[in-house]
Amino acid sequence: MTQLEAARKGIITPEMEEVARNEGRAPEEIRALVAEGAAVIPANRNHSGVSACGIGRGLRTKVNVNLGISPDCRNHEVEFAKAELAERMGANALMDLSCEGDTRPFRKALIARTRLPVGTVPVYDAEGMGKSLEDLTADDFLSMLARHAEDGVDFVTLHAGITRECLDLLEEGERIMPVVSRGGSLIAEWMRKTGEENPFYACFDRVLEICREYDVTISLGDACRPGAVHDATDSLQIQELITLGRLVKRARKAGVQVMVEGPGHMRLPEIEANVLLQKKLCHGAPFYVLGPVVTDVAPGYDHITSAIGGALAAWFGADFLCYVTPAEHVRLPTLEDVREGIIAARIAAHAADLAKGIPGAEAWDRCMSEARGRLDWDAMMEEALDPEKPSRMRAESVPGDPRVCTMCGRMCSIKRMQEAAPHP
Q: Give 192-231 pLDDT, tens digit per residue.
A: 999 999 999 999 999 999 999 999 999 999 999 999 999 9
Cα 382 from Cα 97, distance rounded (Å): 33
Residues 149 and 69 in one domain: yes
Cα 173 from Cα 231, distance rounded (Å): 10
Cα 104 from Cα 253, distance rounded (Å): 31
Residues 295 and 392 in one domain: no
Question: Which regions of 301-345 does DSSP assign to beta strands (E)?
Answer: 320-322
Q: What is the pLDDT of residue 322?
A: 98
- Residue ranges for the chain with pLDDT beneath 50: none
Distances (CA, A) of 47 to 198, 244, 256, 347: 29, 27, 17, 29
Cα 324 from Cα 304, distance rounded (Å): 8
Residues 63 and 200 in one domain: yes
Distances (CA, A) of 132 to 121, 127, 158, 381, 405: 19, 8, 20, 54, 62
Residue 24 included in any domain: no
CA trace torsion 85, 86, 90, 92 (10° rounding):
-160
- Report phi then psi at 287, rounded to 5: -110, 125
Residues 291 and 243 in one domain: yes
Q: What is the pLDDT of residue 96?
A: 98
Q: What is the pLDDT of residue 216?
A: 98
Residues 171 and 233 in one domain: yes
Residue 35 included in any domain: no
DSSP-derived secondary structure for 161-196: T--HHHHHHHHH---SSS---HHHHHHHHHHHHH-P
Residues 301 and 391 in one domain: no
Residues 239 and 316 in one domain: yes
Residues 392 and 339 in one domain: no
Distances (CA, A) of 373 to 229, 347, 420: 42, 22, 14
Tell me the CATH number at 270: 3.20.20.540
Residues comprising the binding site for substrate?
A: 66, 95, 124, 159, 181-183, 222-225, 261, 288
**Domain total of the chain:** 2
Residue 47 included in any domain: yes
Residues comprising the binding site for [4Fe-4S] cluster?
A: 405, 408, 412
Last residue of a domain, one of 324, 339, 355: 355
The residue count for the chain: 424
Which residue stretches of 223-285 are H helix?
A: 235-253, 268-281
Give the range of the structural domain holding residue 390, as residue numbers without chain letter: 361-419
Q: What is the pLDDT of residue 65?
A: 98
Last residue of a domain, one of 355, 370, 390: 355
Residues 185 and 201 in one domain: yes
Pair 324, 290: CB distance under 8 Å: yes
The DSSP secondary-structure symbol of 205 reads H
Residues comprising the binding site?
A: 66, 95, 124, 159, 181-183, 222-225, 261, 265, 288, 329, 405, 408, 412
Residues 144 and 210 in one domain: yes
Residues 298 and 410 in one domain: no
Phi-psi bin for 315: left (phi > 0), alpha (psi -120 to 50), beta? alpha
Residues 325 and 396 in one domain: no
Residue 392 included in any domain: yes
Count of alpha carbons within 13 angstroms of residue 108, beta-carbon side: 7
Global pTM? 0.96
Residue 84 included in any domain: yes
Last residue of a domain, one of 340, 355, 370: 355
Distances (CA, A) of 352 to 159, 314, 357: 28, 6, 9
Residues comprising the binding site for Zn(2+)?
A: 265, 329
